[in-house]
Amino acid sequence: MNQNEIRQKVCQLIEDGREEMIQVLQTLVQFPTQTGQETDGQKYMQSLYSNLGLKVISLEADREKVCQHKTFVDSGWEYKGRPNIIGILEGESSARSLILNGHIDVVSPEPTGEWDFSPWEGKVAEGKLYGRGACDMKAGLIANYFALKTLLAAGLKPKGTVILQSVIEEEVLGGGGTLACLLEGFTADGLVIPEPNMKIVLAHPGVIFFRVRVTGKPAHAGVAHTGVNAIGKMNKVYQVLIELDEKRAQEKHYPLFEIDSERSCHLNIGTYRAGDWISTVAGWAEIECRMSYIPGENVAEVKHQVQQTVSNVAQRDEWLSQYPPEIVWLERRAEAWEQAPDDPFVLAFKSCADKILASNALITGATWGMDTRLAPYFNMPAISFGPDGGNIHGVNEYVDLDSVIDCTKVLASFILEWCGV
């Protein structure tokens, strides 16, 4: 058979295996693998990889080792009992190797009462599969698995080594997942992560997190006028941070990010806590923020912008000038990442995607962090390309099942293209 005939045969086998793929994805969604609770889901992934005849490794991160790396972020959870599952199909060392990676951890499904179906059911309706993590990114994990499974079922053994990785704690940018795998030597000549979005993603912004705390003057509510309410003072800080966000949105541009988003960077104030008694003037207030920055921006300068903005508003307020807001930069972070679009790895993947989808696969950027950011530290090109869906991190998250099939076809075709057969 020629290349086109081989590709057609593989695609047909993937179509024929649609019901099995849906069933396996349903089963995986039914494991409530919130970050820190990935164990049972990983046991299931281990059984899938084992049944495929792969060399399977259960790898618990070595904290002493991973914490020394520049990109390490401490998730706050212990690694014991929370392994990464690695399945290896060994090939010839002279041929190009490939990693297909995906994270099994998911965010909280709350408020669960707002869902139309249980977030842990894997309900299928009108061509969609609903559930927490269905799109982000258990569908991608299953697409990785079935891409390789179908090739082997067709008698097509890749010439180069193929590595499947099911990793933990990506949702909190944790160092116990992909970073641990790469540090233990499970690297390759290229990395694909099928995160949501059936476009070829080649960049994402850097992300930093910080906390601002304001101190007030507590007083009994009956003499509230003698106190200083920290809530009101924090509101001034909130407002200037919103203005900083809008200013940066107008000034900072990265074209790949603006293909799918109106803006290249964001400053989001995600939590606001204040006071501890309804009859007491709030003596403290605290906000926590996530801020992104575009590739090429200096992180120290970005932090300075925040500090200067808060300092300026404090100087204009009699109380805050005496009791300045405290800014604490949190350890959690993600480095900005960009992949050269003319790399042979990217060109080969785009060629496969164009053929399978019979269209021009769009190259774009994401406005959130991903594990692809780790690839440059291990001299690997990387891309993200995964199934489409909706309501990611929200109520009624779903994945489009046709896109899962199409993504699997692209991944299978790329294994053959990149690794040989």
pLDDT digit string, tens, across residues 158-186: 999 999 999 999 999 999 999 999 999 99
Handedness of CA 375, 380, 385, 386 (dihedral sign): negative
pLDDT at 1 > cutoff 80: no
pLDDT at 79 > cutoff 90: yes
Instruction: Return the SS3 of 211.
Output: strand
Contacts of 209 (CB under 8 A, 6+ apart): 288, 289, 290, 291, 329, 330, 332, 333
Exposed (0-12), middle (13-18) or buried (19+): which is 211, by Cβ within 10 Å?
middle
If you classify domain 207-334 with CATH, what class do you get?
Answer: alpha beta
> pLDDT band at residue 4, thresholds of 50, 70 and 90?
confident
Across the range 45-67, mean pLDDT stands at 97
Could you tell me what percent of the chain has a pLDDT over 90?
Answer: 96
Could you tell me what percent of the chain has a pLDDT over 70?
Answer: 100
Are 3-202+339-419 and 207-334 the same fold in CATH?
no
Distance in angstroms (rounded) separating the CA atoms of residues 131 and 135: 8
User: For position 244, what pLDDT does the model report?
Assistant: 98
Contacts of 336 (CB under 8 A, 6+ apart): 203, 204, 205, 206, 293, 294, 295, 296, 297, 373
pLDDT at 83 > cutoff 80: yes
Largest separation between any pair of C-alpha atoms in the chain? 87
Cβ atoms of 289 and 328 closer than 8 Å: no
Chain mean pLDDT for the chain: 97
Q: How far is CA 358 from the centre of its chain?
A: 28
Q: Is the domain defined by 3-202+339-419 classed in CATH 3.40.630.10?
A: yes
pLDDT at 110 > cutoff 80: yes
Across the range 23-28, mean pLDDT stands at 98
> pLDDT band at residue 77, thresholds of 50, 70 and 90?
very high
pLDDT at 23 > cutoff 90: yes
Distances (CA, A) of 88 to 7, 18, 48, 54, 343: 23, 24, 12, 5, 25
> pLDDT band at residue 376, thresholds of 50, 70 and 90?
very high
User: For position 333, what pLDDT does the model report?
Assistant: 87
Across the range 114-132, mean pLDDT stands at 97
- Give the position of tokens 């404090």: 314
Distance in angstroms (rounded) separating the CA atoms of residues 186 and 181: 6
For residue range 196-227, list pLDDT tens digits in order: 999 999 999 999 999 999 999 999 999 999 99
Backbone angles phi, psi at 415, to 5 degrees: -55, -45
Taking alpha carbons only, the member of 22, 96, 175 closest to residue 414 is 96
Spans of all domains in the chain: 3-202+339-419, 207-334
User: For position 332, what pLDDT does the model report?
Assistant: 83
Across the range 268-286, mean pLDDT stands at 97
Find the range with the poorest average confidence among 2-6, 43-47, 358-362: 2-6
> pLDDT band at residue 191, thresholds of 50, 70 and 90?
very high
> pLDDT band at residue 3, thresholds of 50, 70 and 90?
confident
